Copies of this chain bind each other. A is one copy, B any other.
Amino acid sequence: MSTWKSEALKAKTILQASIPKEWLLPEDKLPPSDQRNVVDFPKASGLFTDRELSITDMSATALVAGMGAGLLSAEEVVVAFLKRAVLGHQLLNFATEFMADTAIARAKELDAYYQRTGKLVGPLHGVPISVKEHIGIKDLTCNGGYVAWVNDIAPEDALILQCLRKAGAIFHVRTNQPQSLMHLCCSNNLTGTTTNPYNRTLTPGGSSGGEGASMGFKCAPLGIGTDIGGSIRAPAAFCNAYGLRPTMRRNPCSGIKAPEPGQEAILGVVGPLAAQSLDDLELFQRAVLDAEPWDIETSLVPLPWRRVKENREFTVGIMWEDGTVRPHPPVTRALQTAKSKLQAAGIKVVDWEAYKHSHGWDIISKLYFPDTASSQKALLSQTNEPTLPLTKWAFSYAHPTPLSISEAWALNVARDEYRDEYHARMKAAGVDFILCPAYVGVAPMLSEAQYWNYTAVWNVLDLPAVVFPSGMAVEERDIGVDVDWVARNEVEEREWRKWRVDPGRFVGAPVGLQVVGRHFKDEETIAAAKVVEEAVRGLEEKAKL
């Protein structure tokens, strides 16, 4: 066995040892491996009591309310989600490590506290949260998707986990991520490839792909991902879930392991994914910021999470396409439906033309790897682990020679000018929020996610962006859609080939949409997304799903 394989095996060993064996379903009871959609399997599996099924269908907000009313115990909640996560892992390979014992022990503590005081410890009392692997947990390994880091032990909990734990959260499972953390898919040489619960031949997205699967299969009501180009939002969109990319410097990043520490031209952010509701994203954010993380991580902006009033007096600009790649038919149909429903609901809607998004991509793609990705490549060559195709793809963005300091400064200037211009145009057009695709299509086939700019442009602009499920999915009628245009460029040609070659591959895949707000207006953006979601899906329809 080559060195990298024996090293990589350590990650698999940790994972295997951590799985609570009592909840494993025997192989022969699992759905056939060619069954694509497994989201309804928990019910069919016979593993869960009705109560467990209904617990795992609850939002974090509802779970906390239930525990506050004494109707649920933290222990039964975490056990239900742990069981579901074990099954999810058998079907989707989304976990990197279970933490069943500590999770259950913590739940018991919380229950005892509630018994003793009649109070909850905090706003996330007893809420199980899945955690992307590179977010460090004290005394556990933290490999960040690199074999070279397989032996690294986190010296303490990442600061965001400390904040959430103080609010009562329980961390029960750690989740998978791609090599380099720079794929919108989820494969690495450590614990392999995670798949999409709505269609196991598709990717759950990335880089927070394990979180996408966790949300889509309801292995937790909340998850924590990171996002430097779409890594929270693509998984949320692909897996029928919710996700927030907050404005930079709001959520604490201390204790999150990644190459390029000190790179601050484009900061990765950490933020929530949610299985059930936008309210849960807000619950998460409030808990984090109420802990005042800026009092420890001083580079954060000391801006508490604000309560904003429900408001429907805003203008939504619908961005139909980004000027480079028109979205696939199901996405356009979802936007068209959204437009009619918003209008029917009395929300002001206008068209929003993408402003220089390819320029934005040009800036951010150069800023990702100004050192030719040498930090990342050095990690790969330390063990000679194979460089996966989408890692090569990501590294291909890098300039072939290292940027000089002054070249990097020029990109910062271009970035800031682009931000100012974009903001000025939104203001001039009276557009408060942009409704747009979260990706060129629905979840792509494994290893085919190559086009980032429906999400990455909001990273270079540093605008808060929320993904929510449109309630729509790919249908037969999308397949017949013919378009009477010729691809404008090779990228559009490439991305449409993926759809046209066999659209049937995507049937059933959900369509997520993205609401983008203004810099530091994270609160308003979630609030607007709630209004949009309610208009687009209708409350009843949502209840039905």
Interface positions of A (Cβ within 8 A of B) = 254, 260-265, 294-299, 301-303, 370-371, 374-375, 402-406, 408-413, 416, 419-420, 423-424, 427, 462, 519-520
Chain B residues within an 8 Å CB radius of A371: 404-406
User: Closest Cβ of chain B: how far from A441's Cβ, in Å?
Assistant: 31
Selected from B262, B302, B409, B423, the residue in CB contact (under 8 A) with A263 is B409
Q: A297-B420, A420-B296, A424-B296 are in contact. Are A519 and B302 (CB under 8 A)?
A: yes
Residues of B within 8 A of A423 (CB): 295-296, 298
- With a cutoff of 8 Å between Cβ atoms, the chain B residues found around residue A409 in the complex are 260-263
Q: Are B519 and A298 in contact (CB under 8 A)?
A: yes
Known: A262-B410, A264-B264, A411-B262. A416 touches B299 (CB 8 A): yes
Residue of A263, A302, A406 ringed by the most chain B CB atoms within 10 A: A406
Task: A462 to B294: give the CA distance in the assembly, Å.
Answer: 13
CB of A413 within 8 A of CB of B261, answer yes
A129 to chain B, nearest CB (A): 25
How far is it, in angstroms, between the C-alpha of A294 and the C-alpha of B303 when the chains are bound? 15
**Residues of B contacting A263 with CB < 8 Å?**
409, 412
* Cβ-defined contact, B295 with A427, below 8 A: yes
Given contacts A295-B427, A370-B405, contact A301 B520 (CB under 8 A): yes
> Binding site of A, secondary structure by majority: helix, strand, loop or mixed?
loop
Q: How far is the CA of A206 from the CA of B402 in the complex (A)?
A: 36
List the 5 closest pairs (A to B, CB-CB), nearest first.
Answer: A262-B409, A262-B412, A262-B413, A371-B405, A298-B419
In the assembled complex, how far is the CB of residue A523 from the closest CB belonging to chain B, in whole angstroms? Answer: 12
In the complex, 28 of the A-B residue pairs with CB atoms within 8 angstroms, ordered by the A residue number, are A261-B409, A261-B413, A262-B406, A262-B409, A262-B411, A262-B412, A262-B413, A263-B412, A264-B264, A264-B265, A294-B519, A295-B423, A297-B420, A298-B416, A298-B423, A298-B462, A298-B519, A299-B416, A299-B419, A301-B301, A301-B303, A301-B520, A302-B519, A370-B405, A371-B405, A371-B406, A374-B406, A375-B406
Which of A254, A296, A299, A375 has the largest count of B CB atoms less than 10 A from its CB? Answer: A299
> In the assembled complex, which residues on chain B have CB atoms less than 8 Å from the CB atom of A297?
420
Smallest Cβ-Cβ distance to A411: which chain B residue? B262
CA distance in complex: A411, B416 (Å)? 22
A120 to chain B, nearest CB (A): 28
C-alpha spacing A61/B404, complex, angstroms = 48
Give Cα A412 to B262, complex, Å: 5
Q: Which of A296, A370, A405 has the most CB of B within 10 A?
A: A405
Taken together as a complex, chains A and B put the C-alpha atoms of A295 and B406 apart, in Å, by: 28
- For the complex, what is the distance from the CA of A40 to the CA of B23, rounded to whole Å? 88
Q: Smallest distance from the beta carbon of A367 to chain B beta carbons, Å?
A: 10
Report how far A265 CA is from B370 CA in the complex, Å: 16
In the complex, how many angstroms separate the beta carbon of A438 from the nearest chain B beta carbon? 23
Contact A298 B406 (CB under 8 A): no
A374 CB contacts on chain B under 8 angstroms: 406
Give the distance to chain B from A111, nearest Cβ to Cβ, in Å: 33
Interface centre among A262, A297, A404, A419, by most chain B C-beta atoms within 10 angstroms, is A262
Instruction: For A423, give the chain B residue with the smallest CB separation.
Output: B298
Can you name the residue of chain B whose Cβ is closest to the Cβ of A462? B298
Given A299-B416, A419-B298, A520-B301: A405 in contact with B408 (beta carbons within 8 A): yes
Q: How long is the Cα–Cα vector from A537 to B450 in the complex, in angstroms?
A: 66
Bound Cα distance from A262 to B371, whole angstroms: 17
Q: How far is the CB of A489 from chain B (nearest CB, A)?
A: 29
Q: CA A419 – CA B403 in complex, angstroms?
A: 27
For A297, the closest partner residue in chain B by CB is: B420
Q: Establish whether residues A262 and B408, one from each chain, have CB atoms under 8 Å apart when the complex forms.
A: yes
